[in-house]
Amino acid sequence: MKQLTIKNKISALGIGLHKGEPIRVTLEPLDDNSGIIFYRTDTNTYIEAKPQNVIDTTMATVIAKNGFSISTIEHMLSSVYAYGIDNLLIKLDSNEMPVMDGSSASFCMMLNEVGLIEQSALKKIMIIKKEVEVRDGDKFVKLSPNSFSQYIFSIDFTHPAIGFQKFIFNFSKDNYKQQISRARTFGFLKDLQMLQSKNLALGASLENAIVLDEKNIINSEGLRYDNEFVRHKILDAIGDLSLLGSAFIGKYESHAGSHKLNHLLTKEVLKDKQNYEIKNLEGIKELALSKVYA
């Protein structure tokens, strides 16, 4: 299987989660072996999607270079990874990605519309060879060897509308579109009010997040999936782990994982080359992966 990029340029307009201002995002093809690169048109700054460029993981994954940052990249990266795209330029005119509807569905629609094209170079795959785990008390994230890509995530909230949820996701592009891409980010009304009093989360609304008061979900349309909360955690994890630099074959497991723990996991995996092996895809493995990205 060969590397993939998009066929043409495509643009969309959305609202920034924190500033609440319109942001234009444009996707453009890149040459073989270029990777995923963000470009801020307002500062003429290129930032590669790599762990060493991550500067903050408090509320989202934030990358930066030369003092200029881009926030909330995980939803865009999640869709790009799910579609098997290896080389892409992501241009925007602000310091954050547009939140769209709080999921990655809008970015998937952009990729569906523009289409993908095979390039000349063979696709690179990371094979996880050893178990790598990062813990913070009861919270953990882990990658371990597996014959295919799988994500197992659990969360446990005291809030009655969430509670304990667990989801097992066997990765493929089609499964992602059906089971993960529409899962929205979520937050609590009391936290939203506090953030907005500090001029943060100004773009957050019922149009781009699941919002909960002390007992209930206040979105009139309810949930898109019964366990939408844990599915969104997997959406985030796929985006965060895409910073490994290539698609991986292995099992990701987490309980109450976060952007911070995912970032630490990518650093821990890449720290020791005995943890993984990078292979070019050809032969039988190529046929197997073609089905994943069909």
Which of the following is catalytic: 18, 232, 259, 263?
259
What would the 3-class secondary structure string for 98-137 be?
A: ECCCCCCHHHHHHHHHHCEEEEEEECEEEEECCCEEEEEC
Taking Cα atoms as reference points, which of 227, 209, 207 lies closest to residue 161?
Answer: 227
How would you classify residue 130: left for phi > 0, otherwise alpha for psi between -120 and 50, otherwise beta? beta
Residue type, 194: M
Q: How many CB atoms lie within 10 A of CB 190?
A: 11
C-alpha torsion sign, points 186, 262, 74, 68 = positive
68, 53 Cβ separation under 8 angstroms: no
Give me the count of residues in the chain.
294
The whole-angstrom separation of Cα 257 and Cα 244 is 17
7, 117 Cβ separation under 8 angstroms: yes
Helices (H), 144-203: 173-179, 189-197
Termini Cα distance of the chain:
11
75 noted as active-site residue: no
Residue 78's φ and ψ, nearest 5 degrees, are -60, -45
Residues noted as catalytic: 259
